[in-house]
Chains A and B, each alone.
Chain A
Amino acid sequence: MSDATLASTAPPAAAAFPAGGLRRRLVPLGLALVAPCALLLVWQVAVQSGMTRLIPSPHEVAEEMVDFAVGGIWDDAFSGTLLTHLFASMQRVYGGFALAALVAVPLGLLIGRVALVRQVMDPFLQLMRPVPVTAWLPLSMILFGLGARSAFFLVFLGAFYPILLNTVFGVRSVEPRLFEAAEMLGCRGNAQFFKVVLPASLPSIFTGLRLGLGLAWFVIVVGEMTGVPQGLGAVIMDARTLSRTELVICGMIVIGLAGFVSDRIVVAVMNRLLRWSPLHHV
């Protein structure tokens, strides 16, 4: 009593490190490096051929990056401060993001599942949504003062909506059939929340978390316009005032890398938790 159509789609448990595994890892890496390298090349050529005088060469930026990271070249106010600024920004990004997730996921689950909460909260949240984070900047400085708390709040705002909307969407789009199946098997009422609603909306929740964390890094520069002394956004704003474009670019690169690494971590957790879903392996 078995259909013979499965064997080939059985879980790839044995695919850990077979021969050629290294190659299989290096090829995607090589392909992924094509576009960044091309950009570097164009940049170098453009600067060398004198197309612009305002943008430093990749070499100058690299030099600045070393100084920014470990010091020993310029020995100015920014030398060797990368980690300090990175940690300051990370605290705000992860703090704001974590708070956004802690509020948005439960709220989204409730809005999606409970009609009363939806009727009370949804119009209000939809009205607030179009207001850009940048527009909140002045008000946030009045409410939370100059400094880290303002930045924290702005990051929270930026991450909040994608998490909330995707969670609501996930809850609303659970297949009705699964509720019938659960009920007919004796799982009813509130038990369905944890046994059906939550797992079924997990893919959407993760999409929201990914977008939210991305946006958290996205708004960190705005968030750190609020007069914080430390942070990558603050560095970029200061460097701009001082016309140190190479330092601006360093800040951009570090934010890009930090955002990328953050996203990979979320994806790794997601792939682990959603290994049942054929559509959510990135």
Chain B
Amino acid sequence: MSKLPIVDIRNVSKVFTVGGGEIAALRDATLTVQKGEFVCLIGASGCGKSTLLRIVAGFESPSSGEALMWNKPIPGPGPDRGMVFQDYGLFPWLTVRENIGFGPASRGRPKAEIRETAERFMALVGLTRFADVYPHQLSGGMKQRVAIARVLANDAELVLMDEPFGALDAMTRERLQDDLLTLWGRTGLTVVFVTHSIEEAIFLADRVVVMEPSPGRIASEHRITLPRPRDVASPEFNEIRRELSARLHSHHAKTAA
């Protein structure tokens, strides 16, 4: 417990005011993420997993509690935390190359360096052939590769992913999961990944954080120690899947009663 965590969320609550009423999106969440860790947040809709991610990203500020990165309050969105959205959020008027170079360009890096960075990260996600193509000409999986490369090209040390593969077909999703793990293994990134798929969470994560709705809160944490690459059909994998599934559904049973 001696290492300084990259992300430290302490008793964070978030209340949204909607049409005069108040909605508790997140109540009393506490979570730490160590450098290099791959953490998945999982839960039904309304459990506050996206809210928690957006607080770490700096798009939302906590109503109470503290959200720290390297022990300093998160001031707002910044290039050290790259977000990958489910709907990609690519700039449609920029080519693949220009989208990936957007971060370095915004930070006023020299032209040659921007170009070199874009080349490197296009190669990393396998899109060199499509350098001068606009986003509308790409498939969903390729758009998400651009979004990931864009964040990495900007030197983000923490990658926040909000159901990034949720809109993709099963084949593409599996492929991107594999590629993401490869990238993660190669770069020493820290990843916080929101999903509603139990299988995806167990396949990817070092640690799965289970969240529950109304009000959104953290219910339990599970360390996944299966060696990678993980076999989703193995008995050990299914054991964990059953356990997490039971955790997630016990809540539904409670509310249904």
Interface: A39 (CB within 8 A): no
- Interface positions, chain B 109-151, Cβ under 8 Å from A, are 125-127, 129-130, 132-139, 141-142, 145, 150-151
Residues of A within 8 A of B132 (CB): 11
CB-CB under 8 A for A183 and B77, given A3-B139, A9-B137, A277-B136: yes
Binary flags per residue of A143-187, CB closer than 8 Å to B gives 1, else 0? 000000000000000000000000000000001011011111111
Of residues 172 to 209 in A, which have CB atoms within 8 Å of B's CB atoms? 175, 177-178, 180-188, 191, 195-196, 199-200, 202
With both beta carbons as reference points, the residue of chain A lying nearest to B126 in the complex is identified as A1
Instruction: State whether B91 touches A184 (Cβ < 8 A).
Output: no
Task: Provide the bound-state CA to CA distance between A274 and B58, in Å.
Answer: 32
* Complex interface: chain B residues within 8 A of A276 (CB): 92-95, 134-136
Instruction: Give A255 to B179 CA distance when docked, in angstroms.
Output: 60
| Interface presence of A119 (CB below 8 A) | no
A259 to B7, CA, bound (A): 61
- What is the CA–CA distance of A2 and B82 in the complex, to the nearest angstrom? 22
Nearest CB in chain A: distance from B151 CB, A = 8
Q: A3-B142, A9-B137, A178-B89 known; A184 and B126 CB under 8 Å?
A: no
Q: Take A181-B89, A184-B81, A185-B154 as given contacts and tell me if A1 and B125 are in contact as well, using a CB distance cutoff of 8 Å.
A: yes
The reply to whether the CB of B83 lies closer than 8 angstroms to some CB of chain A is yes
Inter-chain contacts of B58 with A (CB < 8 A):
184
| Given A3-B139, A3-B142, A181 contacting B91 (CB threshold 8 A) | yes
Residues of A within 8 A of B141 (CB): 3, 5
Contact A186 B93, beta carbon cutoff 8 Å: no
B172 contact set on A, CB distance < 8 A: 3
Do residues A185 and B85 form an inter-chain contact, with CB atoms below 8 A? no
Contact (A184, B102) CB under 8 Å given A1-B125, A276-B134: no
Contact A196 B91 (CB under 8 A): yes
The answer, yes or no, to whether A242 is at the interface (CB within 8 Å) is no
B200 → chain A closest CB, angstroms:
18
The reply to whether the CB of A10 lies closer than 8 angstroms to some CB of chain B is: yes
| A15 is an interface residue with CB less than 8 A from chain B | no
CA distance A181 to B150 in the complex (A): 10
For B135, what are the chain A residues with a Cβ–Cβ distance below 8 Å? 276
Interface string of A223-249 (1 = CB under 8 A from B): 000000000000000000000000000
B232 CB to nearest A CB, Å = 21
- List chain B residues, Cβ under 8 A from A22: none
Q: Hey, what's the 0/1 contact readout for B97-113 against A, CB within 8 Å counting as 1? A: 00000110011000000
Write out the residue numbers on chain B whose beta carbons fall within 8 Å of the beta carbon of A3. Answer: 139, 141-142, 172, 175
In the complex, residue of chain B having the shortest beta-carbon distance to the beta carbon of A274: B93
**Do B103 and A186 touch across chains, with their CB atoms under 8 A apart?**
yes
Whole-angstrom distance from the CB of B240 to the nearest CB of chain A? 28
B102 to A185, Cβ gap below 8 A? yes
Chain B, Cβ-Cβ closest to A177: B89
Size bracket, chain B contacts:
35 or more
The digit string for A1-38, where 1 denotes a CB below 8 A from any CB of B, is: 11101100111000000000000000000000000000
What residues on B are CB-neighbors of A195 within 8 Å?
102, 106
Q: Is the CB of B133 within 8 A of A185?
A: no
* A130: Cβ under 8 A from any B Cβ: no
Q: Does B87 contact A (CB under 8 A)?
A: yes
- Kindly provide the distance from the CB of A8 to the nearest chain B CB, expressed in whole angstroms: 10
B32 to chain A, nearest CB (A): 22
Which residues of chain A have C-beta atoms less than 8 A from B79's C-beta? Answer: 184-186
Asked if A278 is at the interface of the complex by the 8 Å CB criterion, the answer is yes
B142 touches which of A6, A180, A185 (Cβ 8 Å): A6
Known contacts A11-B137, A184-B77, A186-B78, A2 near B91 by CB under 8 Å: no
B106 A191 Cβ-Cβ under 8 A: yes
Task: Give the distance to chain B from A270, nearest Cβ to Cβ, in Å.
Answer: 13
Residues on the B chain within 8 Å of A180, using CB: 59, 77, 83, 85, 89
The reply to whether A185 and B93 form a contact with Cβ atoms under 8 Å apart is: no
**Is A186's CB under 8 angstroms from B106's CB?**
yes
Chain A residue with the shortest CB-CB distance to B76 = A183
B244 part of interface (Cβ distance < 8 Å): no
Q: Which residues of B contact A (CB under 8 A)?
A: 57-59, 76-79, 81-83, 85, 87, 89-95, 102-103, 106-107, 125-127, 129-130, 132-139, 141-142, 145, 150-151, 154, 172, 175, 179
Q: Give 13 A-B contacts (CB < 8 Å), ordered by A residue.
A: A1-B145, A2-B142, A5-B141, A11-B133, A177-B87, A182-B102, A185-B82, A185-B150, A185-B154, A186-B78, A187-B106, A274-B93, A276-B95
- Additional A-B contacts beyond A10-B130, A186-B78 (17; CB < 8 A): A3-B142, A3-B175, A177-B87, A178-B89, A181-B91, A182-B102, A182-B106, A183-B77, A184-B58, A184-B77, A185-B79, A185-B154, A186-B79, A188-B77, A200-B93, A276-B94, A276-B135
The 6 tightest CB contacts between A and B, nearest first, are: A1-B126, A187-B106, A181-B89, A186-B79, A185-B103, A5-B139
